[in-house]
Amino acid sequence: MLKEIYIQNLAVIKEAVIPLNGKLNIFTGETGAGKSILINGINAVLGQRCSKEIVRTGCEKAVITALFTELSAEIQAKLDELGISHDNEEITVTREISADGGSVARINHRTAPASLLKEIGAMLINIHGQHDNQILLDSDRHLSILDNFDGDTSLLESYRETFRELQHTARRLGELKRQEQSRIERSRSLNEIIEDIGELELSENEDEKLENEYETAKNSEKTIIALKNAVQAISGDDSANDMVVSAEREIARFTDSSEQLKALYERLSAAEIELADIASELEKYADKVELDGQRLEYLSTRLGTINKLKRKYAADCNGLIKLYDNACREIMQLESSGDEISQLNARKEQLLHMVTERAKALYDYREQAAERFVERVTAELEFLNMSGVVIAVHHEKGKLTINGMDTVEFLISANKGEEPKPISKIASGGELSRIMLALKSVIADKDSIPTMIFDEIDTGVSGKAAQKIGIKLREIGKVRQVICVTHLSQIAVMADNHLMIEKKIIGERTETHVTQLEFDGRVSEIARIMGGENPSRLMLDTAREELLRAAEI
């Protein structure tokens, strides 16, 4: 709960320490005394936007510090998640607003962004002001009010889990279907690659090997003729070999008389042997060269096909092999995406059935909750002096959304015999305040927010209705800390902790002071609210009686 607020240099509040208890805390004071400034200060420590205009004139900055104690397990778990200590189950939250427009937020003296204050503040305090009545005028908010009233969200959470899976499945299916046309075109292209290249069953560097073999085969006939001519030139009639032999005979008879001729003779003999050996090798090589017309035709055709594909795909032989392998892998992936579409379609149908069934169950459950809601709120309205008001819940089935298939709108009839109509067309400001209080009352024990603040809950009401509002606020104060700003004595007398906000002129400056009132002080303040400044003895006695009567309620 909010244990204490410290304010310094906030508008007309120079300095104030405001103690609060865990029940019903009431703030009263003259119009313009600064009650709205107090709410602004609380909003500041809750991370709301702050204007530099709220800094007291002539001061460098305004400081608001709030002490929260008796933190719930939920809040402590959140603080642990954020790495924020909470010794003795308490924390301090501070907001400093500079006159130059900047601001600094701290939690337990550790600097924190305003967004973090807002996140934690939403778990600590719920502020209800006149603008919150707009919730009643907005039919889109009525469903969440009904769900908060019931408290059991297990069906809704189960439905939302399935609905989100359905949304995810539908989105994925949509993506795949949008890709389907390009997938079909890509598949066509890949299949063409696979057909073109796959049927050739290419091997690495095959084109180079075939080119070499083709060139060899193409020249084989010329090679054989050349080889035979070479053999004939070496060992045929009038051949090189005959000439060498003839040369040997011519110089043989002179070898004994000349060492030089002997050496030349030996070289001629060696040449004869070498020429004979070369002729033999040429004959053997010629025998190995084959003339195969069919092979030559095959080589020509295959090379032509390969070269055509090389030009088509701008790749060499090894590049064609890689292109084929990649196409095979990609076509398998595309086929698997087609399988995924089939699987997702089946899952979507399954999820749609589940979502529809759970939505129906949720609708039926809310139908029962709406009956209980009407019964409870009607009882609260009767207590708040609105017994003639009839409230109804218009509940219909609509399209499936994250919240189910339900459309909910609260209807009221302010006069007996009139058909209930939308609240926005019927209720006055005072009625809205009391209806909202009735709603807050029936859901007060449904959430874990420990503090509720009511600002101007008394707008448009007086007399007995105001007294009933005060009693209801005290009832809520039994299960939640309640802080209320009011102008009505009927509400003020119900306070468990009464604080008075008043303006004083100190020197040349106006200051607002906040005073925690004891019984006699409360008597004077209640009398002032009822009768104005300088209340009579009769008014003081009446105020005392009202306080004593309220204490017995």
Quick check: helix, strand or coil at residue 494?
Answer: coil
Whether 210 and 125 share a structural domain: no
The closest alpha carbon to 430, from 374, 468, 377, belongs to 468
Amino acid at 411: L
In a domain, 476, yes or no: yes
What pLDDT was estimated at residue 131? 52
pLDDT band for 46, please (50, 70, 90 cuts).
confident
What is the mean pLDDT of the segment spanning 349-372? 94
In a domain, 339, yes or no: no
214-262 pLDDT tens trace: 777 777 767 777 877 887 888 777 777 778 777 777 787 777 778 888 8
The closest alpha carbon to 36, from 66, 12, 71, 58, belongs to 12
Examine the fold and report which residue of 334, 365, 381 is the final residue of a domain before the chain moves on: 334
What pLDDT was estimated at residue 402? 92
**DSSP assignment of 385-422, as one string?**
T-TT-EEEEEEEEEEEETTEEEEEEEEEESSTTSPPEE
What is the mean pLDDT of the segment spanning 344-369? 93
Q: What percent of the chain has pLDDT over 70?
A: 92
What pLDDT was estimated at residue 129? 58
407: β partners: 396
**Which region among 163-177, 197-211, 264-278, 429-443 has the lowest average model confidence (pLDDT)?**
429-443
Question: Which of residues 219 and 478 earns the better pLDDT score?
Answer: 478
In a domain, 352, yes or no: no
316: β partners: none
397: β partners: 406
Whether 87 and 211 share a structural domain: no
384-416 pLDDT tens trace: 877 778 889 999 999 999 999 999 998 888 776
In a domain, 392, yes or no: no
Cα–Cα distance for residue pair 83/398, rounded to 1 Å: 43
Q: Which long-range contacts (CB under 8 A, 24 or more apart) does 541-546 make?
A: 543/489, 546/489, 546/490, 546/493
Which ranges in 289-316 belong to alpha helices (H)?
293-313
Pair of tokens at residue 435: 């209806």
Q: CB 19: neighbour CB atoms within 10 A?
A: 13
Examine the fold and report which residue of 334, 351, 381 is the final residue of a domain before the chain moves on: 334
pLDDT at 165 exceeding the cut of 90: yes
The closest alpha carbon to 481, from 440, 450, 436, belongs to 450
pLDDT at 482 exceeding the cut of 70: yes
Residue 490 belongs to a domain with what CATH number? 3.40.50.300
Q: How far is CA 528 from the centre of its chain?
A: 54
Whether 108 and 191 share a structural domain: no
Whether 125 and 193 share a structural domain: no
Whether 202 and 314 share a structural domain: yes
What is the mean pLDDT of the segment spanning 95-113? 89
Count of domains observed in the chain: 2
pLDDT at 22 exceeding the cut of 60: yes
Measured CA distances, 387 to 432, 469, 503 (Å): 15, 14, 40
Quick check: helix, strand or coil at residue 382?
Answer: helix
Question: Which of residues 418 and 527 earns the better pLDDT score?
Answer: 527
Whether 187 and 265 share a structural domain: yes
Cα–Cα distance for residue pair 142/178, rounded to 1 Å: 38
In a domain, 106, yes or no: yes
Let me know: does 183 contact 334? Beta carbons within 8 Å.
yes
Whether 60 and 203 share a structural domain: no
What is the mean pLDDT of the segment spanning 499-525? 88
Residue 311: φ, ψ to 5°: -70, -40
Whether 85 and 216 share a structural domain: no
**Which region among 191-195, 281-285, 512-516 has the lowest average model confidence (pLDDT)?**
281-285
Examine the fold and report which residue of 334, 354, 374 is the final residue of a domain before the chain moves on: 334
Cα–Cα distance for residue pair 320/313, rounded to 1 Å: 8
Let me know: does 118 contact 132? Beta carbons within 8 Å.
no
What pLDDT was estimated at residue 412? 84
Let me know: does 382 contact 471? Beta carbons within 8 Å.
no
Quick check: helix, strand or coil at residue 126?
Answer: strand
Quick check: helix, strand or coil at residue 486?
Answer: coil
Q: Which long-range contacts (CB under 8 A, 24 or more apart) does 131-140 make?
A: 132/436, 133/429, 133/432, 133/433, 133/436, 135/436, 136/410, 136/423, 136/424, 136/427, 136/432, 136/435, 136/436, 136/439, 137/423, 137/424, 137/432, 139/408, 139/409, 139/410, 139/422, 139/424
Whether 317 and 187 share a structural domain: yes
Residue 12: φ, ψ to 5°: -85, 0
Cα–Cα distance for residue pair 469/471, rounded to 1 Å: 5
What pLDDT was estimated at residue 427? 59
What is the mean pLDDT of the segment spanning 174-190? 75
What pLDDT was estimated at residue 292? 61
What pLDDT was estimated at residue 361? 94
Compute the Cα dihedral for 474, 475, 476, 478 and give only its sign.
positive
Whether 5 and 125 share a structural domain: yes
Question: Which of residues 427 and 96 earns the better pLDDT score?
Answer: 96
**Which region among 119-123, 205-209, 505-509 has the lowest average model confidence (pLDDT)?**
505-509
Whether 117 and 219 share a structural domain: no
pLDDT at 168 exceeding the cut of 90: yes
Whether 121 and 256 share a structural domain: no
Pair of tokens at residue 25: 């805390």
In a domain, 214, yes or no: yes
Measured CA distances, 468 to 62, 175, 335, 461, 548 (Å): 38, 59, 72, 10, 16
In a domain, 247, yes or no: yes
Q: Which domain holds residue 1?
A: 1-129+456-517
Strand order in the sheet with 103-107: 13-19, 2-10, 61-68, 91-98, 103-107, 110-112
Rounded (to 5) percent helix, strand, coil in the chain = 60, 20, 20
Pair of tokens at residue 404: 């189910």
Classify residue 385 as exposed, middle or buried by CB count within 10 Å of its CB (0-12, 13-18, 19+): middle
Classify residue 20 as exposed, middle or buried by CB count within 10 Å of its CB (0-12, 13-18, 19+): buried
In a domain, 273, yes or no: yes
